Chain A
């Protein structure tokens, strides 16, 4: 996995550099989660919703890594006439089942998928990756209440707890204290994990549901992970990389 993730990270950096787009920080915080999910966990009947749609680059790179997107696809990222828009598209990529990007939608969509599977008696789990800033959205809490009340135990939330949001840290903007404790108080089966440790993530994601409760992994992560000058810097939510920065990022990841 280590080598797979390193290659995906390099491809992600190149894709964002060549497209001259930002959002790289939150993509780097989520990449190990997506790579572990797609390489080690997802079964054919499982479904995934990327609620933090601004990490589309990490999703596209992961889909490329598992052979569901081609190199020819990735070079179209952010280009005219592309299916690989800056946030997941509604059409054009079979493995992307919902257009997301406005925060606060993904958990409800995933809950609907989990409910639908139960009503149909269909196999498979549903995974949803959310940001931590996304818990500012009231709709996310609506969906949490629903998922817990409906006992949607085929649903697993992954929360990218990188501590930074659009214009400040999560603590500065709307401090929720311990998200783990809050989710537990709603009746979820919650586990805190290292969001950059593929082995821990794999073990936690493969954990079967218990007692009719949805599962949630609160994954501590670092925005801009793996590139020292990006780590924990809010501006890398927005900035594209200059050529020198890209070269430095590649050097650091290659040598890691």
Chain B
């Protein structure tokens, strides 16, 4: 038992119950179906923009990319053009591989003492795999949900759905992404609980988003496969929201409002949380800069004009004294002038 994840779990359950009881017992459909979703979207967008602009105001005068391969130097030394890029093209390739394939996570290794004495570093690809599945599944789920927000539904969305449901198991057909998302998020949670070092550094802000996404996935799966909702009414509700003519069909039940509220909470929480890595990955100076530290001289643009005292000036000032003391000087004192002051 650990207060970080128990508290997060309880929070998510309570949030769900607030929406469920709020709509089914108290009758606050207007609040959970209209007011909170709008507010959540506004907070999400405004918070996201503010966060990114704040990052953009942080100066990065020098090149600080993490170097993951041979730097470009002499022409006959092969360099890692993607893992240690020196051109804009290389940076774009590096960012693409990082964002689409999680290149840096692929380097993940596990350090442990083998036989109690020898330190060994082993391949650890499960985190990379689970993270990749998680992100792609979540992305697919989000894109799929656009069928509730677009009318007519564009053909590519239908293609995506048919690919997602190509197993054709049961009716309504199993969509792989939903279950992949739930499985991956459970793996990411168990990883934090079962690996002692990871548990030690895990905070409530790590567990809370995991439980929130787990709650969203579970409630979504329940609605689609088990308790069922009237999908047409749900779409009438969502379409009402995005056309600013909100409607609240009576056939939409508490499970939907719970799901909807958890999504609203996720949106509103997003800009204030670690989830901002969605924007942050693009703003990472250790990834998005070309390694030209030696190729080009980067000068700090707001360098303070430093008052310097060069050796020439120093010698001019102390030449006589230096000569008297027998120290070597670069410029012999001019004969006849005992005092040379400027």
Do A and B originate from a single complex? no
Chain B residues in contact with chain A, CB under 8 A?
none
Chain A residues in contact with chain B, CB under 8 A?
none
